[in-house]
Chain A
């Protein structure tokens, strides 16, 4: 019995030592590790988090940067624009990704003043419907307002089949929804109730539109142009303008917005180097067009 006790306490102590050893070596420090410059590459590790619309681009760029500069680690997380902005304002991460400006999101007690905006790309969204909505290839701004506020409830009111319209929203707090509401709906109050659904992500929206008769929603270009999704969806013109990267770049397609990467104060070290890489030819010239964003630097 006593022997057992002694063994137990020895084990407990050993376990404590092992645990503390693990935590000191394995847990990454939340602050950026000191960066040292080696040629054009800067070593160290930083975290970027926030917008899921911008995430595919930032993730791909971070992977490429890590390959080019083996000593650098850029960790990319989602979480939503609000999370990105509040975490970068609190200093928990180095870069906050957002679909919307910090001024429109951050009020007291987190001042937006100390945040520095870096616009890295333009991103576009497209209105999509279920395949059974035949004969509708274009919606005007006014038709969109009538549909999304619940004034029109059947596709035959906009030249389609006799089929009830099912509205699939993103959450009211999402960057996609607030951008669509501002640019297309002119801040009209959207419908609620029986014919409306809310889905969490671009992926969930795509699934819901493909499986629901008469469904309409708004998704990012990158998701619409995914070969796995495109044959399952009807992509619509907006005011007669095709939803293409070229039309978005020339500003003739209006459902588009800047993708922001915010830093707390002027960036330095790896953060500055990574943002410079985002605006450099590798990302702006090659990566951005391949992922259906539009470059901001030519």
Chain B
């Protein structure tokens, strides 16, 4: 017997692992993956926060100066100033206009797909949306710079005027000196966020139980009345989540926007004028500034502002969803 055991050992075979060992190993692997993910996120948050605060700690710039509209970061400039307001305002304005353009289209498309479209139409539109998501942002920016920007510049060169016969000109916007503008940035972004808002809204509409639809129709309502009074109210939190996710995508987009908005570091004046955003200024300046100089510290502060925007929207989505659960 002892002889046998030794032979068994000598062949290099070992006893089969116990049940506990077999279950534990994959669990450890999965847990390790999750833990390293959390570790990376925490490290990233800590690093960006630390770097973003250097402008205040090391360079002694006041919060008041950050909120000023004057951006003169060049150390040879006579009045050195790190005003981030043009960038924050640019990001907010460009994103807001993009959402204004994109939301009705995207929610309408989601309603069409979930309530109206026959099977064959859905079979075309859904893959088309997936292809949309896969188009790299540089391609959108390139289309913007070669088609949209010249089009805006040549079509609306003289200015846009909305006039009513009685009141005269009620709305006058200076013409495009160049096509590079707030409007161009918002238009490019509005196309890019259509798939995000559409797919999340679509899921929200599909989540409304079929019984509610049939019940509503049985009461004699039209399809539009069902959509207007039943589907939109029931799916509202889901649609709001979709809009917030679209907003996050728009605020974080750098390349496509940078190519068409002109990047003029001054306060946005009109939708026909060039503006700038946090993301585009970071990409423009990061390669040319040196780690540790106040100029680059200001770029880190911009990253921190972006991080705060994206964390706020994650929190907002959570709050919206919690209210849906509670309702």
Question: Would A195 and B177 count as touching, CB distance under 8 A?
Answer: yes
Give the complex CA separation of A192 and B174 in angstroms: 17
Question: Would A2 and B288 count as touching, CB distance under 8 A?
Answer: no
Cβ-defined partner of A189 (8 Å) among B78, B150, B289, B293: B78
Flag A163-182 by CB within 8 Å of B: 1 or 0 each. 01010000111110010000
Cβ-defined partner of B295 (8 Å) among A8, A106, A173: A173
Stretch of B196-204, B244-252, B268-276, B315-323 that contacts chain A: B268-276
Q: Is B258 an interface residue (CB 8 A)?
A: yes
Question: Would B29 and A9 count as touching, CB distance under 8 A?
Answer: yes
Residues of A with C-beta under 8 A to B114: none
Q: Is B130 an interface residue (CB 8 A)?
A: no
Residues of B with C-beta under 8 A to A212: 153, 178-180
Which bracket fits the contact residues of B? 35 or more
Which bracket fits the contact residues of A? 35 or more
Knowing A82-B289, A172-B74 touch, does A194 contact B149 (C-beta < 8 A)? no
Question: Would A173 and B291 count as touching, CB distance under 8 A?
Answer: no
Q: Is A29 an interface residue (CB 8 A)?
A: no
Question: Would B22 and A192 count as touching, CB distance under 8 A?
Answer: no
Q: Which residue in chain A gives the minimum CB-CB distance to B261?
A: A197
Give the complex CA separation of A85 and B296 in angstroms: 14
Main secondary structure on B side of the interface with A: loop
Question: Would B273 and A8 count as touching, CB distance under 8 A?
Answer: no
Residues of B with C-beta under 8 A to A164: 177
* Whole-angstrom distance between the Cβ of A154 and the nearest chain B Cβ: 11
Knowing A9-B25, A208-B180 touch, does A194 contact B285 (C-beta < 8 A)? no
Q: Which residue in chain A gives the minimum CB-CB distance to B265?
A: A192
Residues of A with C-beta under 8 A to B273: 193-194
Q: Is A68 an interface residue (CB 8 A)?
A: no
Q: Is A118 an interface residue (CB 8 A)?
A: no
Q: Is A220 an interface residue (CB 8 A)?
A: no
Q: Which residue in chain A gives the minimum CB-CB distance to B22?
A: A5
Give the complex CA separation of A81 and B286 in angstroms: 10
Question: Would B180 and A197 count as touching, CB distance under 8 A?
Answer: yes
Give the complex CA separation of A8 and B263 in angstroms: 51
Question: Would A172 and B177 count as touching, CB distance under 8 A?
Answer: no
Question: Would A197 and B288 count as touching, CB distance under 8 A?
Answer: no
Residues of B with C-beta under 8 A to A39: none
Residue of B22, B177, B266, B273 with most chain A CB atoms under a 10 A cut-off: B177
Give the complex CA separation of A200 and B283 in angstroms: 8
Flag B12-51 by CB within 8 Å of A: 1 or 0 each. 0000010100110110010000000000000000000000
* Whole-angstrom distance between the Cβ of A2 and the nearest chain B Cβ: 6
Residues of B with C-beta under 8 A to A235: none
Question: Would B153 and A106 count as touching, CB distance under 8 A?
Answer: no
Question: Would A196 and B264 count as touching, CB distance under 8 A?
Answer: yes
Residues of A with C-beta under 8 A to B292: 86, 108-110
* Whole-angstrom distance between the Cβ of A168 and the nearest chain B Cβ: 9
* Whole-angstrom distance between the Cβ of A108 and the nearest chain B Cβ: 7
Knowing A171-B284, A196-B264, A197-B264 touch, does A82 contact B290 (C-beta < 8 A)? yes
Residues of A with C-beta under 8 A to B264: 192-194, 196-198
Cβ-defined partner of B288 (8 Å) among A173, A204, A214: A173
Q: Which residue in chain A gives the minimum CB-CB distance to B291?
A: A86
Q: Which residue in chain A gives the minimum CB-CB distance to B258?
A: A200
Question: Would A207 and B145 count as touching, CB distance under 8 A?
Answer: yes
Question: Would B285 and A2 count as touching, CB distance under 8 A?
Answer: no
Knowing A82-B287, A86-B291, A110-B290 touch, does A198 contact B262 (C-beta < 8 A)? yes
Give the complex CA separation of A263 and B323 in angstroms: 60
Question: Would B178 and A9 count as touching, CB distance under 8 A?
Answer: no
Q: Is A75 an interface residue (CB 8 A)?
A: no
Knowing A194-B269, A197-B263, A211-B149 touch, does A78 contact B287 (C-beta < 8 A)? yes
* Whole-angstrom distance between the Cβ of B31 and the nearest chain A Cβ: 12
Q: Which residue in chain A gives the minimum CB-CB distance to B269?
A: A194
Give the complex CA separation of A176 and B159 in angstroms: 34
7 residue pairs, one from A and one from B, having the closest CB atoms: A80-B287, A173-B288, A198-B263, A171-B284, A80-B288, A197-B262, A9-B25
Interface pairs (23), CB distance under 8 Å? A5-B22, A9-B22, A9-B29, A12-B29, A82-B288, A82-B296, A85-B290, A164-B177, A187-B76, A194-B177, A194-B266, A194-B269, A196-B264, A197-B262, A197-B263, A198-B264, A199-B263, A200-B258, A200-B284, A208-B178, A211-B149, A211-B150, A214-B177
Known interface pairs A83-B286, A196-B264; 10 further A-B residue pairs with C-beta atoms within 8 A, sorted by A's residue number: A171-B284, A173-B284, A175-B288, A196-B262, A197-B264, A198-B263, A200-B283, A207-B145, A211-B150, A215-B178
